[in-house]
């Protein structure tokens, strides 16, 4: 049983396509939390719930507590809905198995491993013409080296169901005693559509500015986006994200941009057979992943150091050792 968790607020332009895509991909059930949507998003979720495909939690808190709410859903997936694997996803992320079906990939994971990663691959905003986002957003860009950018490279995680799991902020990590990560293998791409319209972008960052509790605070990227809105206004920020035809031609020529129609083709026809990745595709993915690995390794190292320091502090406090504080 593959269960997907989803936390949404006012995502009517994408939520139905997201759910349809992932059910066709092989997701068996969805646990969703709606955070006071007012644009019809909750109605879409309720329709899937009536059909028996989704369990809906209605969260009315003014504060936005993503990690806490996603952790709650991931645990419910394990305890109440028979999950073997849990996909914690945002609504703008379309999981793409690189070889085989979602089930085939997850069934191939050796039993000792409990966490599998996918790489974020970002699609850029294109001029609007009234069509669905997936018809016009077929341009993917290389990740940015700026950690405050919308297009920063990072991993997303799928984990084995665990009633005690803790899902990290942004669904990038999952922690549990059995969740040994399978590193250096990326069987999934996470095709990411973060900026789809002017209204959606403005709503997204105004919501985060107003709803994030003080004890959580903003990420570097969120803080940069809010500062940009304040300093330059929404029209200028949208202009900076928009890739018009001239920018597209230049980006294709210098390799920053590439045409990628996979989501469009699958949403048009879920039975379509798309070609398997080529060697050049694999090289491009490995190159982008390489920009994440060093930072990921440093984060893991700092985590080990922090845990060791806390252990030393505890032993000193108990009188077991007298080494002085490690720095």
| pLDDT per residue rounded down to tens, the chain (327 residues) | 999 999 999 999 999 999 999 999 999 999 999 999 999 999 999 999 999 999 999 999 888 888 999 999 999 999 999 999 999 999 999 999 998 899 999 999 999 999 999 999 999 999 988 899 999 999 999 998 877 788 888 999 999 999 999 998 888 888 988 889 898 889 999 999 999 998 888 887 777 666 666 656 666 666 777 777 777 778 888 888 899 999 999 999 999 999 999 999 999 999 888 888 888 888 888 888 887 855 444 444 444 445 555 566 666 777 665 555 444
What CA–CA distance (Å, rounded) separates 67 from 116?
19
CA 247 to chain centroid, in Å, comes to 27
Q: Is 312 domain-assigned? A: no
CA angle in degrees (0–180, nearest 5) for 104-110-112: 140
Strand 85-89 with 155-160, pairing: antiparallel
What is the three-class DSSP state of 75? helix
Q: What phi, psi does 6 have (nearest 5°)?
A: -145, 125
The 3-class SS string of 87-133 reads EEECCCEEEEECCCCHHHHHHCCCCCCCEEEEEEEEECECCCCCCCH
Considering the domain boundaries, does residue 60 fall inside one? Answer: yes
**Exposed, middle or buried: residue 277 (CB in 10 Å: 0-12, 13-18, 19+)?**
middle
Domain presence at residue 166 = yes
State how far the Cα of 91 lies from the Cα of 8, in Å rounded to an integer.
7
At 303 the pLDDT is: 43
Question: Left if phi > 0, otherwise alpha if psi is -120 to 50, otherwise beta: which for 319?
Answer: left
Residue 20, burial from CB neighbour count under 10 angstroms (0-12, 13-18, 19+) = middle
Does the residue 283 lie in any domain? no
Does 259 map to a domain? yes
**Orientation angle between helical segments 234-241 and 198-211, nearest 10 degrees:** 120
Cα separation, 133 vs 129, whole angstroms = 10
pLDDT in tens, 61-71: 888 888 999 99
Taking the C-alpha atoms of residue 11 and residue 44, their distance in angstroms, rounded to an integer, is: 10
Q: Which of 99, 74, 101, 250 is nearest to 174 (CA)?
A: 74
- The answer to whether residue 141 is domain-embedded is yes
- Give me the CATH number covering residue 205: 3.90.550
Q: Concatenate the DSSP letters of all residues of 248-288 into one string.
A: HHHHHHHTSEEE--HHHHHHH-TT--PPPP-HHHHHHHHHH
Domain around 80: 2-276
Question: Count of domains in the chain?
Answer: 1
User: Would residue 163 count as lying in a domain?
Assistant: yes
Which tokens in the block code for residue 292?
Answer: 């994440």
The CA–CA distances, whole Å, from 24 to 19, 136, 269 equal 9, 22, 10
* Extended beta strands in the chain, E state: 2-8, 29-35, 54-59, 85-89, 93-97, 115-123, 139-141, 155-160, 166-167, 174-175, 188-192, 257-259
In a domain, 304, yes or no: no
């Amino acid at each position: 049983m593959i269960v997907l968790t989803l936390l949404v607020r006012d995502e009517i332009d994408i939520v139905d396509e997201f759910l349809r895509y992932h059910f066709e991909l092989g997701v068996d059930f969805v646990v969703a939390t709606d955070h006071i949507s007012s644009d019809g998003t909750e109605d879409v979720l309720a329709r899937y719930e009536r059909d028996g495909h989704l369990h809906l939690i209605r969260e009315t808190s003014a504060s936005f507590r993503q990690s806490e709410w996603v952790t709650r859903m991931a645990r419910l997936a394990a305890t109440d809905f028979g999950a073997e694997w849990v996909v914690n996803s945002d609504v703008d992320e379309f999981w793409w198995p690189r070889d085989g079906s979602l089930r085939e990939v997850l069934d191939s994971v050796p039993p000792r491993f409990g966490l599998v990663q996918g790489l974020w691959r970002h699609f850029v905003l294109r001029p609007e013409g009234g069509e669905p986002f997936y018809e016009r957003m077929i341009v993917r860009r290389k990740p940015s080296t700026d950690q405050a950018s919308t297009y920063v490279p990072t991993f997303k995680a799928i984990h084995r169901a665990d009633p005690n799991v803790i899902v990290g902020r942004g669904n990038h990590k999952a922690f549990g005693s059995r969740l040994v990560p399978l590193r250096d293998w990326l069987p999934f791409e996470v095709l990411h559509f973060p900026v789809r319209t002017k209204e959606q972008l403005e709503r997204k960052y105004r919501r985060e500015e107003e709803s994030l509790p003080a004890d959580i605070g903003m990420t570097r990227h969120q803080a940069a986006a809010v500062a940009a809105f304040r300093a330059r206004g929404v029209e200028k920020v949208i202009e900076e994200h928009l890739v018009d035809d001239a920018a597209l031609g230049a980006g294709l020529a210098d390799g920053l941009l590439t045409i990628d129609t996979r989501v469009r083709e699958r949403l048009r026809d879920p039975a379509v057979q798309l070609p398997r990745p080529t060697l050049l595709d694999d090289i491009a993915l490995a190159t982008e992943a390489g920009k994440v690995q060093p930072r990921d390794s440093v984060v893991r190292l700092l985590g080990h150091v922090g845990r060791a320091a806390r252990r030393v502090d505890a032993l000193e406090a108990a009188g077991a050792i007298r080494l002085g504080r490690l720095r």
